[in-house]
Structure 1
Amino acid sequence: MEIQYILGYIGALLIGLVLGLIGGGGSILTVPILVYLLGINPITATAYSLFVVGSSALVGALKNIQKKLVDFKTAIVFALPAFTAVFLTRKYLVPAIPEQFYKINNFIITKDIAIMLLFAVLMLLASISMLKSKKEVIEEDVSLNFVVFFFQAAFIGVLTGLVGAGGGFLIIPTLMFFARMSIKNAVATSLLIIAINSLIGFIGDVQNIEIDWLFLLSFTSISIIGIFIGTYLSKFIEGAKLKKGFGWFVLVMGIYIIFKELTK
């Protein structure tokens, strides 16, 4: 086995470990690992990421369902516009993006570069979310505005479809603000939403790209093993401090990707 594949599978384990240790954020590493360690095309990598993220989130969601932390009604209301947007984005929008996305003099921003730059911006936003302290509950008396809630869910769905990341850092504040959930319930419910969004979004890719199922299933399996290891280790390691450290790591990675893509 070539060294990049060994590193890639170690990366898969790391994704699961982070998810198990701090309850989210690890999926933000999936696309960079697939693209930069394994040399997979960014469009294919975002599709693979949807499957890895969706499968990992489903494991977490099932555990939270057992603990009765998931709000199914809110999850369904959010997931309907979100997974529809993810599916349509993967099936129609992504294939429709031109290969030469933008040109400035002799510098050409290709479709692949544009996807990675958008992903890097998402990483920067995710890192800020991880570094900020979240309130346990929403104190304001906010009524659920279904129109705003619908469009917020659809927007997150489009973003998820474009970059292949779960978008938990966007979903959780939305659930806390509009559905007035505690952060514990919002995290639990977001995992179910992410699982539905990502796996249905992946279905939109099945006919558009050639999928290496052996690699994808083995990569996902190792990531899920990492989740169980991380969950076990989380009993002995303080998750809050880890989350801050990982936030700084994601911030540096986001800046690195922007630099790398713009200096090709």
Structure 2
Amino acid sequence: MTALILALAAGAVVGLVLGALGGGGSVLAVPALIYLLGFTPAAATTAALIIVTATSLTALYAHARSGRVRWKAGAAFAAAGILPAAAAGTAAAHLPQSALTLAFAAIAALSAIKMLRPADTARPSDGAVRPGKAAGAGAALGALTGLLGVGGGFLAVPALVTVLAFEMDAAVGTSLLVITVNSLASLATRAGTAASLDWALIGPFIAAAILGAWDGKRLAAKISTPRLQCIFAVVLLAVAAFMLADALI
């Protein structure tokens, strides 16, 4: 019963962050699965991919209804990440648990720093779309998703704005399509691991995350986005420091 309550609470927090900030919640899913629910790092990344896919699909539907998803460009961007996501997903199964923990701690810290010091997301002044850079960004995002089980929204949105010259609302909506495709590609290589997961905990986690995302949208209307990002970044830095210490000690 305690584990179920923890799964519901963690899922609600992940969904709340996702709904309030449009990304970032999945970065909390892996440490929650490891330290609260007792998953191994490898199992946690697989479970996180399932959670990311479910929540991203739900959010994608809402954005698509509002016309904020650019399907053709998003599909092309996502296509560049399919093979890297699958390859990274396969590689993750053979990496030491400590290596996965260290890599995830580094990505969590990077995510926090980007939120504290937002990157320049100004669109190219000439409005030109650069296919080579778009393919490279899509491949890098796919590899990150496959290896660590994170959606990478904190990287996808700036990439879509700066490389493909998207408006911010279209970038947020389209990033959900990219994240969903990459997550599915990585999950395809982890079928054996997924079958052995504790679905009695993952199911409630996903349900709470989906419900929490709706509350996150309402929270975003009451508190400014920069303030929410600052609070989340500080929490994420603490999580990254804890995971780093755990992997090294």
TM-score range, shorter chain: over 0.9
1:214 aligned to 2:200?
yes
Shift of residue 238, structure 1, vs aligned partner = 2.4
Shift of residue 135, structure 1, vs aligned partner = 5.1
1:157 aligned to 2:142?
yes
- 2:52–2:180 contact (8 Å) kept in structure 1: yes
- 1:142–1:178 contact (8 Å) kept in structure 2: no
- 1:136–1:182 contact (8 Å) kept in structure 2: no
2:37 is aligned with what amino acid?
L
1:95 is aligned with what amino acid?
A
Query: Whole-Å Cα distance in 2 between the matches of residues 12 and 190 of structure 1?
Result: 21
Counterpart of 2:92?
94
Choose 221-230 or 192-201, whichever is displaced more. Answer: 192-201
1:235 aligned to 2:221?
yes
1:74 is aligned with what amino acid?
A
Q: Over the residues paired in the alignment, what is the CA RMSD in angstroms?
A: 1.8
Query: Which sections of structure 1, spanning at least 5 residues, go unmatched?
Result: 98-110
Counterpart of 1:108?
none
2:114 is aligned with what amino acid?
S
2:66 is aligned with what amino acid?
K
Q: Which has the higher helix share?
A: 2
Choose 18-27 or 227-236, whichever is displaced more. Answer: 227-236
Q: TM (normalized to structure 1)?
A: 0.87
Shift of residue 137, structure 1, vs aligned partner = 3.9
2:34 is aligned with what amino acid?
V
Query: Whole-Å Cα distance in 2 between the matches of residues 64 and 169 of structure 1?
Result: 17
Shift of residue 187, structure 1, vs aligned partner = 1.4
Counterpart of 2:189?
204
Counterpart of 2:9?
10
Shift of residue 256, structure 1, vs aligned partner = 1.8
Shift of residue 252, structure 1, vs aligned partner = 1.9
Query: Which sections of structure 2, spanning at least 5 residues, go unmatched?
Result: none
Query: Whole-Å Cα distance in 2 between the matches of residues 124 and 180 of structure 1?
Result: 27
Larger radius of gyration: 1
Shift of residue 143, structure 1, vs aligned partner = 2.9
- Evaluate the alpha carbon distance shift between residue 96 and residue 253 of structure 1 in structure 2; reply closer, same or farther with a 3 A threshold: closer
1:206 is aligned with what amino acid?
A
Counterpart of 1:261?
247
Provide, for residues 14-44 of structure 1, a one-character-per-residue CA deviation record: whole Å limited to 9, x for no partner: 1011111222111110000000111101101
Counterpart of 1:246?
232
Q: TM (normalized to structure 2)?
A: 0.92
1:195 aligned to 2:184?
no
Query: Whole-Å Cα distance in 2 between the matches of residues 73 and 126 of structure 1?
Result: 28
* Equivalent residue runs for 1:1-264 within 5 Å: 1-2=1-2, 4-90=3-89, 92-97=90-95, 111-134=96-119, 137-141=122-126, 143-209=128-194, 210-263=196-249
Provide, for residues 198-252 of structure 1, a one-character-per-residue CA deviation record: whole Å limited to 9, x for no partner: 1332232112451333322221111111111222333323232111111121122
Query: In the comparison of the two structures, how many residue pairs are matched?
Result: 248
Task: Give the % identical residues.
Answer: 31
- 1:22–1:240 contact (8 Å) kept in structure 2: no
